[in-house]
Structure 1
Amino acid sequence: ADAGDIVFEHIGKLDSESVKEIFYSASRVSSDVLIVDLDVFSGKEIVSALQSFRIARPNTRIIVIAPDRKPGDEIISSIVGLGIYDIAAGKKESDWAEMIKNILLSPPATYAQAARWHTGQLLNAFVQTKERVIIEERPAGVVTIAVSATAHGIGCTHTALSIASFLARLGHSAAVIEDSQRPVFSFLCSVLKAKEGKVEGSYAVHGIDIFPDESRDDGNWSYDMLLKKIKAGQYEYVVRDLGVLDSARKREMYRADTAFVVASAARWRWHEIIDRIDSDIDIIFPLALQSDVEEISFYAGIKGTALPYCPNPFAKENDFIFLKLLAPVLPSRRKKKSLFGISLF
């Protein structure tokens, strides 16, 4: 479509059932701008529909038309809390075409411009999240990354090894610790004829240290028993292969600095994800089409990422994806200006 063309349009009122369908259909279309008139639906479901749309289309600018709405409106406050700041407000008889035209000709609105609509209920959560991200950009000590899966054979171990290998290519000291229900690292190290790693009990494989599970089902986590060795190895990152997610492993996920769940995007397996995995945990879908991931992300309200086919976990083909997924726990280099305008790193 050419610039300025309408690629999707819906006219008419929506009910609680159709609002999600319409927004999902809109998310399947590549667009620069989405214009939403709040008069088409008055229920709170439109907030979750907009949230799912933003997950599926994070780069699409969203403009909300809000006739006869005033600051303090609960719906608009929640919409602003999603990071949607282009709010066109006025009386129903206003010249909406001219108002939308002016918004489109202007840069996207900022939070400062939309703050009057925000009740403040989500303000503290926003500040805390922002502060947490700043801290994670400069991780102190060992950073722990937990990887689990919704079922056996989906790719939990493959993903854990891929993440550690990616970190090693960035020049970081990384280790993988096995805490899954079906240990395979001992066999892997034997097949690869791996040499001894930095510390006793570890094996060096493609620039990373692997710790096979040697807990012998005694009820203890390998990670907990290896804390001294982790410190001795001076690892910057430790990736935990947790295996299939259960209640105990879910607690371990929250102990980590960041966590990922590996799942299938097949429609007949959606039940393994919907209402079972917290929306703040990134879900990785190996071998999935981007369209399938966008679909399940929309309906389940999750953060899904498609991981293209790459049979070798130590290859670099998917580095660009892991760079994005691990950005919150990777060190950043910020430019600082001196009084004389010289940039220091």
Structure 2
Amino acid sequence: MLVSLIATKQMAEQIKKALADAGDIVFEHNGKLDSESVKEIFYSASRVSAEVLIVDLDIFYGKEIISALQGFRIARPNTRIIVIAPERKPGDEIISSIVGLGIYDIAAGEKESNWSEIIKNILLSPPATYAQAARWHTGQFLNASIQAKERVIIEERPAGIVTIAIAGTAHGIGCTHTALSISSFLARLGHSTAVIEDSQRPVFSFLCSVLKSKEGKAEGSYAVYGIDIFPLNESENNDNWNYDMLLKKIKAGQYEYVVRDLGVLDSARKREMYRADIAFVVASAAKWRWHEVIDRIDSEFSVIFPLASQNDAEEISFYAKIKGTALPYCSNPFAKENDSVFSKLLAPVLPSRRKKRILFGVF
């Protein structure tokens, strides 16, 4: 279970005890918030793909938390929200408004309560219904007569699961590193992402072992830095692609993006590249290796040149008439240094945004 947590430091410690065996925290803010930062923190949380958001109301005592929660609900309508309400009683205006947003998991109790046990029981139970939260709902809303205008980002997303294929012109060129970097970039944007190994030299099992990964959302996957990794099962001796064998599990995991590490490009992998929504070939920009690009890469594929300057990429792109992008050196594939490069490369398959004015505070 992937969890986002916004709580006071003391409460966060108790909640983490409840999550010890139940889930991983993918977003966390500890400490009090002011009226300026409350919406910013909730917006940041909405950019992360989590199954549950846990909010401690003691982080902020103003009414702005209502619109912050509503903004989160709009951005992440399928995320379960659990509100911790220490010392709150039925009739509380803040909680009444929260219930009015369709948030029914209200954890109430005294300050000294065993919050770890309370949260654990809620997580193990189905989401609460209005009947369970009705005692909190007075039917009154804060500032119901005030129509406050807010800007909300509406995203137009690609339909279905977007597949991204990565292949290299040779072993050791950086194909796996690039596949992991792209997957990590998508996860940082808040997208549910899986990376699948279909290369000639499998390494994902070893990688997951070194990184001490945990179980991912789908059976057979391992969670690493917010992405689910599906290693190639070398014990299975068959001619099927790992991707094809995992289709049911991919669907069950409800991934938005699937990145395929195809290994070294050959005729069979070139066909797989055409099956993807977008495909990239990782190649060297060194002049003595230009033949690998010219002889083996179709003009429809974009090329990524690790360790190359933009001048190098432009030179070979002009000579070979193939689109190429330089990827600056970054030793950690899970770092964000090259996010601006991936943002441009993946623009055709990323959600497009448009701003629309809506009214908060009107029910």
> TM-score, structure 1 length as denominator?
0.57
2:313 pairs with 1:313: no
Q: Is 2:282 the counterpart of 1:282?
A: no
Runs of 4+ in 1 over 4 A off after TM superposition: none
In the other structure, the counterpart of 2:280 is: 260
Aligned to 2:6: none
1:225-264 equivalences in 2 (<5 Å): 225-264=245-284
Q: Distance in 1 between matches of 2:250 and 2:322?
A: 33
Tell me which residue corresponds to 1:298: 318
Amino acid at match of 1:232: A
User: Which of 205, 210, 223 is the equivalent residue of 1:186?
Assistant: 205
Q: Name the structure 1 match of 2:351.
A: 331
Shift of 1:334: 2.5
| 1:70 aligned partner | none
CA distance in 1, matches of 2:257, 2:319: 33
In the alignment, structure 1 residue 154 sits paired with structure 2 residue 154: no
Instruction: Return closer, same or farther for 1:286/1:217 CA change in 2, 3 Å cut-off.
Output: farther
Structure 1 residue 275: deviation in Å?
A: 4.1
Q: Which residue of 1 aligns with 2:147?
A: none
Q: How many residues align?
A: 204
Query: Equivalent residue for 1:224?
Result: 244
- CA positional deviation for 1:343: 8.0
CA distance in 2, matches of 1:243, 1:329: 22
Residue 143 of structure 2: aligned partner: none
Task: Tell me the percent identity.
Answer: 83
Cα shift readout 1:281-336 (whole Å, capped 9, x = no counterpart): 11000001211111101000011000000000000000000000000000111246
Q: Which runs of 5+ in 2 are unaligned?
A: 1-155
Asked if 2 retains the 8 angstrom alpha-carbon contact of 1:335 and 1:343, the reply is: no
**Residue 211 (structure 1) aligns with:** 230
What SS is found at the alignment partner of 2:255?
A: coil
**Alignment check: 8 A CA contact 1:148 1:244 kept:** yes
Matching of residues 34-183 of structure 1 within 5 Å: 138-183=157-202
Shift of 1:199: 1.4
Letter in 1 for 2:208: C
RMSD value, Cα: 1.7
* Structure 1 residue 276 displacement after superposition: 2.4
Equivalent position amino acid for 1:223 in 2: Y
- Tell me how far apart the structure 1 counterparts of residues 358 and 344 of structure 2 sit (CA, whole Å): 26
Quick check: 1:275–1:300 contact (8 Å CA) kept in 2?
Answer: no
**Cα deviation 1:237-283 (Å, max 9, x = unaligned):** 00000000000000000000000000000101000011421212110
* Counterparts of 2:279 and 2:261, CA distance in 1: 11
Name the SS for the 1:204 alignment partner: strand
Larger proportion of strand: 2
SS at match of 2:296: coil
- SS of equivalent residue, structure 1 residue 333: strand
**In 1, distance between residues paired with 2:335 and 2:209?**
20
Structure 1 residues not aligned, in runs of 5+: 1-136, 337-341
Q: Quick one: which amino acid aligns to residue 198 of structure 2? A: D
